[in-house]
Amino acid sequence: MSAQTRIRVGRRAVAVSRPDKVLFPDDGITKAGLAEYYRRVAGAMVPHLAGRPLMLERRPDGVTGQVFMQKEVPAYFPEWFHRVELPKEGGTVVYPVCDDGPSLVYLAGQACITPHRFLSRADRPDHPDRLVFDLDPAGEDFALVRVTALRLRELLDGIGLPSAVMTTGSRGLHVVVPLDRRAPFDEVRRLARAVAEVLASRHPGELTTAARKEARGGRLYLDVQRNAYAQTAVAPYAVRARSGAPVAAPLRWSEVEEGGIDARTFTTATVVGRLDDDPWRDAFRRPRSARAALRRLERDTGD
């Protein structure tokens, strides 16, 4: 096994140790192969990571080995890697921030299979610029996930919130809304809960907002719990630790309408072919007000 290789990303050559280490045994994907994937998608992926604290899902022994969910930046990370210190209860955490292609490749070299990102940026960590609805099926009925995403888009459109959609690479879809960062997390979470409750009330036999699994009765859970300080969501184009190396892939709404996709449709082998026509290229250019949307929702529903 090679001791080290270097992968050039722009002007920087990033060292990757043990590049021949197999991380995905069913697929033969090595650490160097993972790093090369992240090098190829960096142009599309980094804009969704830049300025955001990350939680790193690291698997040094591959996807079948132990997982480490890491927030604190290790002391050995290179000086050029961006860090940010943010408060937590009783202290602070120094989080990694991935602002460029070399940083993304470096994380792959640390066996970070999946980076998970804050919904806020480090300069205003309590004021999110993303709102996320996590739609996971109770069983294997992905058709209901697609239908629910389309219903959610219609409801959001009605209160002035444009949305984008992506596969999670795991079980479901994320519907993501761009926000103007004026409202803090508690207000954004109030909006998210109110939207979920309205949608569930319209389709009570299929959807639920019940956090406890035993209370869901086989219905699809409209999960808004990620909309809180220091909570994270899987990053667009991130690889998931599953056989086949599925990817959290941005979609066009037309792909959801047409069907034929599920949570693991796109992989490291196929998603790169979508980069020249990135479905999310213009998705977040017009952030909207969470406060105005909540007022519209309350007016329309009589709350």
- For the stretch 60-78, pLDDT in tens is 999 999 999 999 999 999 9
Strands (E), the chain: 4-9, 12-17, 22-24, 29-30, 54-58, 68-70, 83-88, 91-96, 112-118, 130-136, 164-167, 173-178, 207-208, 220-223, 232-234, 250-251
Q: Which band of pLDDT confidence, cut at 50, 70 and 90, is reported for residue 141?
A: confident
Mean pLDDT of 1-28: 93
Q: Which band of pLDDT confidence, cut at 50, 70 and 90, is reported for residue 90?
A: very high
Contact indicator for 237, 247 with CB cutoff of 8 Å: yes
Q: Which two tokens stand for residue 107?
A: 């994380």
**Which has the closest alpha carbon to 45: 83, 89, 7, 9?**
9
Mean pLDDT of 272-300: 95
- Greater confidence (301 vs 117) lies with 117
DSSP letters, 182-241, are: -S-HHHHHHHHHHHHHHHHHHSTTTEE--SSGGGTTTPEEEE-TT-STT-EEEPTTPBPS
The contacts of residue 276 (CB under 8 Å, 6+ apart) are: none
Helix axes 31-45, 101-109, angle to 10 degrees: 150
With a cut of 70, say whether residue 287 has pLDDT above it: yes
Strands 54-58 vs 112-118: parallel, antiparallel or unpaired = antiparallel
Q: Could you give the 3-state DSSP secondary structure of residue 134?
A: strand
Q: Is the dihedral of CA 107, 110, 116, 117 positive or negative?
A: negative
Q: Which amino acid is present at 143? A: A
**Which has the closest alpha carbon to 271: 90, 52, 41, 83?**
41
With a cut of 80, say whether residue 302 has pLDDT above it: no
Q: Mean pLDDT for the chain?
A: 96
pLDDT of residue 16: 97
Mean pLDDT of 236-260: 97
With a cut of 90, say whether residue 246 has pLDDT above it: yes
pLDDT of residue 138: 86
Q: Which of 2-6, 39-43, 83-87 has the lowest mean pLDDT?
A: 2-6
pLDDT of residue 303: 63
Mean pLDDT of 179-201: 98
Percent of the chain with pLDDT over 70: 99
**Residues 227, 254: Cα–Cα separation, whole Å:** 26
pLDDT of residue 140: 82
Which residue is associated with the tokens 């790193």? 56
**Which has the closest alpha carbon to 235: 45, 41, 13, 105?**
45
Mean pLDDT of 33-44: 98
- pLDDT tens digit string along 111-127? 999 999 999 999 999 99
Contact indicator for 56, 103 with CB cutoff of 8 Å: no
Q: Is the dihedral of CA 266, 268, 271, 273 positive or negative?
A: negative
